[in-house]
C-alpha cells in the first residue's frame, strides 16, 4: 500500500462512508442504550443527587456519602442533567465532548511528526478501536481521566522538545500542571505520578535528563500544589473524612491489596490478555507494527514514537503491578497504543517483501475474524446457545448484521482489503453492526460487556411509581434504580460500596438494619412498597423473612425481580 498515492474516487467514497458509519457507532453507544449497573449507574446517580439537593460539593450516592472517587467527573455530568433532566442520554453528553477533545488533542500532538496521510490514518485507527469506543462511551471516571492524563503527557512532551524557548517551555509546563490537577480531581494520584514517570523515562532514553534542571519545573510543581491543595481542602470541607479514605483506602490499600474489601484481584498478566480485544478489529496488525519497528527502526529518528512507547509501557506495567485490576484502568494507554498501531502497523508503506504482505493479510484477516465474531454472538443470542452469558434477542435484531454482510461483499467486489479506506469502511461497518446490537434494536441491551443492565426494567418501573410509593433495595446495590426512578430507595442490609457511607451516617433515615425495621416501614408507608431483589435471593433470603407480598406485573430479567410488599394489617 502506497500512502502517498492520491485516493481514487472509489476510495474517497469508501472513506466518507466509513466516517459516517463510525460517527453513527459513537452516537448509538452514547445515546441509545441504558446504563450498565452499578458502574455507569453510580456516575449518573451521584451528579443527579447533586442537582436535586443543590449541594454540588457533597458526594452522595443513594443518599449516603460516597468517597471512592474525587468530584470532578460528577461536576462534568451534573450540568447536563440540570439542563436536560435525569435521562441516560443527557448524562452522556459530556462524554461526547470529552471524545471530541481527545481526538483534537491527539490531532495536534501528531501533526508535526506524522503529517498528512500517516498521521490521519493513525488517528482514525485509534478512534475506531473497540477499546477506545467502548471505554470512552461508558460513563466512567476513566474516560474523563484519559483527556486530562493525555493533555498532561502531551504538554510535557511539547515542553521538552529540543529548541524550546524558556517561555514556550514554561507555558507547556504550566499547562501540564493544570491538567494534572484536574486529572487528580478526576481519578487520583495516577494523573500526576504516571505522566511524571513517563517524562523521566523518555528523557533518560533521549539522554537529556539534564533538561529537567530548569526553573520551570519547580515553578510548575508549585503551581500544581497551589491549585490542588485548596481544592482538596474544599472537597474535604464538604465531605468530612474524604481525604483520609481517598489516600489510604482508594490508593495505597487498593494498590497493595491490603484493603479490607479488595476489589478485582487479577494476576500480573491480566492486562496482556485483555489488551488484545481492546485493539479489535485492528489487533492482528500488531505483528506488522512490531516488524516495522524492529526492521525499519523508526524509533531512532522519531521522538514521538519513543514517547508513545514509554507512555504505553509505564501505564501497563504500573497497573499490572497493582493487586486490583479492571479493564478500564489502562484506558490512558489505549490512545498512544492505537496511534502506534495505526502509524506503524497500517500506515507504514509496504517494503515489497513477502513477510510484509503476509503480515498485512494477517491484519486483514483479523478484521474478518471480528466480523465473524459479531455474527456468531448474534446467532448464540438468538438461538440461546449460551443463555447464561447472552440474553435472547428478537429476530428484527438481525438487521444489525446487514451492514456487516454488505460491507464484506462490497470489499470482495471492489478488492478493498488492500488499502486503508477499504479497511476502515469494513471496520466501521462491523462496529456499526455491533453497536446496533447494544441498542434498543436488540431489546434488552445485549449483555456482552458482562455487567448488570436492568435499565429496561427500571424505566418501566418508574412509570408505575406514584409519589407516595416507597422502594426498598434488598441486599443489593443498584444506583441506576435511583437515577431512573428519580428517588432515593430504602436500603435493607446492604453490604457493598455504600458500607462506608452507611457507617458514617448509621442513624440516617432510609437504612433498614433489621427485618423489624422493614416491617415497620411497610406498616407506616402512605402508598405501596416495592422490593427490588436479585432472583437468586428470592428463595434463599427473601422467603425466609415471611413477608406478605405479591408479584408485580413488570418485565423481569435474571438480575432484577420486583415484588410488592403488603401490610400485615
Domain range summary for the chain, segments of one domain joined by +: 103-346, 354-442, 455-565
Confidence label for 447 from pLDDT (cuts 50, 70 and 90): low
Give the cell for residue 521: 416501614
Give Cβ neighbours of residue 174 (< 8 Å, ≥ 6 apart).
219, 220, 223
- Measured CA to CA, the distance from residue 108 to residue 275 in angstroms comes to 26
pLDDT at site 558: 79
Provide the total of helices (H) and of strands (E) in the chain, helices listed first.
Answer: 25, 8
Mean pLDDT of 190-213: 97
Task: Express each pLDDT in 237-250 by its tens digit.
Answer: 999 988 888 876 66
Percent share of the chain, pLDDT over 90: 73
Spatial distance between the Cα atoms of 286 and 302, rounded to a whole number of angstroms:
19
Query: Do the Cβ atoms of 9 and 419 come closer than 8 Å?
Result: no
DSSP 262: -
Is 462:485 a contact under the CB 8 Å cutoff?
yes
Give the torsion through C-alpha atoms of 308, 314, 319, 322, to 10 deg.
180
Is the preceding omega at residue 17 within 30 degrees of 0, hence cis? no
The H or E element that residue 491 is part of is strand 490-492
SS (H, E, C) 386-434: CCCCCCCCCHHHHHHHHHHHHHHHHHHHHCHHHCHHHHHHHHHHHHHHH
The label of the residue with cell 508513545 reads: 308
Strand partners, 511: 491
- Pick 46 or 324 by higher pLDDT: 46
Q: What angle do CA 226, 231, 233 make, to 5 degrees?
A: 100
Of the candidates 41, 35, 74, 73, the one whose C-alpha atom is nearest the C-alpha of residue 478 is 41
To which residue does cell 510548575 refer? 220
User: What percent of the chain clears pLDDT 70, i.e. is strictly above it?
Assistant: 95
Split at pLDDT 50, 70, 90, the class of 258 is low
pLDDT digit string (tens) for 127-169?
A: 999 999 999 999 999 999 999 999 999 999 999 999 899 999 9
Residue 3 has pLDDT above 60, yes or no: no
pLDDT band at 268 (very low <50, low <70, confident <90, very high): confident
What is the average pLDDT across 181-186?
97
CA distance 313 to 443: 40
* Nearest-angstrom CA–CA distance, 335 and 124: 11
| Alpha carbon distance 293, 285 (integer Å) | 12
How high is the pLDDT of residue 1? 44
HSE-up (13 A, CA, CB side) for residue 41 = 22
pLDDT confidence of 325, banded at 50, 70, 90? confident
Mean pLDDT of the chain: 91
Per-residue pLDDT, 62 = 93
Give per-residue burial for 242-254: e unless 16+ CB within 10 Å, then b: beebbeebbeebb
Segment 55-75 shows an average pLDDT of: 94
Query: Which of the residue ranges 30-34, 230-234, 449-453 would you say has the lowest mean pLDDT?
Result: 449-453
HSE toward the beta carbon, residue 139, CA cutoff 13 A: 31
pLDDT score at 450: 46
Distances (CA, A) of 197 to 155, 202, 303, 310, 530: 14, 8, 17, 9, 52
Average pLDDT on 111-130 reads 95
Residues 6 or more apart from 330 whose CB is under 8 A from it?
Answer: 271, 274, 275, 278, 315, 316, 319
Residue 350 DSSP code: P
Instruction: Identify the band that residue 479 occupies on the pLDDT scale cut at 50, 70 and 90.
Output: very high
Which DSSP state fits 509? T
Nearest partner of 433 among 411, 395, 404, 408, judged by Cα: 404
DSSP alpha helix (H) spans, 437-498: 455-464, 479-485
Does the pLDDT value for residue 189 go beyond 70? yes
Q: Which of 356, 494, 371, 391 is nearest to 434 (CA)?
A: 371
The cell numbers describing 176, all together, are: 501540564
Asked whether residue 4 carries a pLDDT value surpassing 50, the answer given is: no
C-alpha grid cell, residue 360: 498485512
Calculate the alpha carbon distances from 240 to 187, 227, 232, 483, 504 in Å.
19, 20, 11, 25, 10
| Confidence band, pLDDT 50/70/90 cuts, at residue 2 | very low
Cα angle, residue 541 at apex, residues 539 and 543 outer, rounded to 5°: 55
Return all residues near 415 (Cβ < 8 A) that are at least 6 apart. Answer: 422
**Rounded to whole angstroms, how far apart are CA atoms 370 and 439?**
19
- 161-170, 227-236, 493-502, 557-566, range with the lowest pLDDT: 493-502
Residue 448 has pLDDT above 70, yes or no: no
Amino acid at each position: 500500500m502506497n500512502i502517498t498515492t492520491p485516493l481514487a474516487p472509489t476510495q474517497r467514497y469508501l472513506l466518507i462512508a466509513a466516517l459516517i458509519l463510525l460517527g453513527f457507532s459513537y452516537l448509538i453507544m452514547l445515546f441509545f442504550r441504558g446504563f450498565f449497573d452499578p458502574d455507569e449507574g453510580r456516575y449518573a446517580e451521584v451528579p443527579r443527587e447533586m442537582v436535586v439537593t443543590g449541594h454540588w460539593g457533597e458526594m452522595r450516592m443513594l443518599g449516603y456519602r460516597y468517597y471512592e472517587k474525587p468530584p470532578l467527573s460528577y461536576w462534568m455530568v451534573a450540568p447536563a442533567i440540570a439542563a436536560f433532566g435525569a435521562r441516560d442520554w443527557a448524562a452522556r453528553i459530556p462524554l461526547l465532548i470529552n471524545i471530541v477533545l481527545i481526538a483534537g488533542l491527539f490531532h495536534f500532538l501528531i501533526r508535526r511528526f506524522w503529517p498528512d496521510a500517516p498521521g490521519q490514518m493513525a488517528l482514525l485507527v485509534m478512534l475506531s478501536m473497540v477499546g477506545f469506543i467502548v471505554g470512552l462511551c461508558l460513563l466512567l471516571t476513566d474516560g474523563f481521566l484519559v483527556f486530562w492524563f493525555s493533555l498532561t503527557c502531551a504538554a510535557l512532551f511539547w515542553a521538552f522538545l529540543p529548541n524550546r524557548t524558556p517561555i514556550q517551555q514554561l507555558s507547556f509546563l504550566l499547562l501540564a500542571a493544570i491538567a494534572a490537577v484536574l486529572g487528580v480531581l478526576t481519578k487520583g494520584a495516577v494523573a500526576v505520578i504516571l505522566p511524571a514517570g513517563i517524562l523521566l523515562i523518555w528523557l533518560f532514553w533521549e539522554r537529556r535528563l539534564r533538561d529537567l534542571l530548569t526553573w520551570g519545573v519547580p515553578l510548575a510543581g508549585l503551581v500544581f500544589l497551589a491549585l490542588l491543595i485548596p481544592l482538596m481542602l474544599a472537597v474535604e470541607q464538604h465531605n468530612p473524612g474524604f481525604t483520609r479514605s481517598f489516600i489510604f483506602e482508594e490508593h495505597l490499600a487498593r494498590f497493595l491489596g491490603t484493603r479490607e474489601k479488595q476489589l478485582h484481584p487479577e494476576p500480573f498478566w491480566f492486562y496482556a490478555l485483555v489488551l488484545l480485544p481492546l485493539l479489535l478489529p485492528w489487533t492482528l496488525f500488531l505483528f506488522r507494527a512490531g516488524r516495522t519497528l524492529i526492521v525499519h527502526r523508526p524509533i531512532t529518528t522519531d521522538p514521538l514514537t519513543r514517547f508513545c512507547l514509554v507512555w504505553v509501557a509505564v501505564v501497563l506495567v504500573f497497573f499490572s503491578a497493582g493487586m486490583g485490576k479492571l479493564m478500564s484502568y489502562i484506558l490512558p494507554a489505549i490512545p498512544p497504543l492505537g496511534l502506534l498501531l495505526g502509524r506503524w502497523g497500517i500506515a507504514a508503506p509496504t517494503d515489497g517483501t513477502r513477510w510484509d504482505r503476509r503480515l498485512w493479510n494477517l491484519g486483514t484477516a483479523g478484521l474478518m475474524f471480528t466480523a465473524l465474531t459479531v455474527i456468531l454472538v448474534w446467532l448464540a443470542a438468538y438461538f440461546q446457545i449460551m443463555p447464561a452469558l447472552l440474553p435472547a434477542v428478537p429476530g428484527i435484531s438481525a438487521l444489525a448484521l446487514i451492514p456487516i454482510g454488505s460491507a464484506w461483499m462490497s470489499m470482495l467486489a471492489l478488492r478493498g482489503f488492500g488499502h486503508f479506506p477499504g479497511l476502515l469502511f469494513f471496520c466501521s461497518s462491523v462496529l456499526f453492526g455491533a453497536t446496533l446490537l447494544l441498542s434498543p434494536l436488540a431489546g434488552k441491551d445485549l449483555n456482552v460487556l458482562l455487567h448488570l443492565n436492568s435499565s429496561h426494567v427500571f424505566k418501566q418501573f418508574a412509570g408505575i411509581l406514584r409519589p407516595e410509593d416507597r422502594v426498598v433495595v434488598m441486599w443489593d446495590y443498584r444506583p441506576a434504580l435511583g437515577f431512573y426512578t428519580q428517588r432515593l430507595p430504602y436500603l435493607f442490609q446492604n453490604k457493598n460500596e455504600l458500607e462506608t457511607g452507611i457507617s458514617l451516617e448509621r442513624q440516617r433515615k432510609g437504612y433498614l438494619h433489621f427485618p423489624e425495621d422493614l416491617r415497620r416501614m411497610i406498616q407506616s408507608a402512605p402508598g405501596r412498597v416495592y422490593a427490588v431483589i436479585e432472583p437468586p435471593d428470592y428463595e434463599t433470603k427473601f422467603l425466609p423473612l415471611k413477608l406478605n407480598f405479591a408479584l408485580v406485573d413488570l418485565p423481569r430479567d435474571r438480575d432484577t425481580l420486583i415484588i410488592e410488599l403488603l401490610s400485615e394489617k
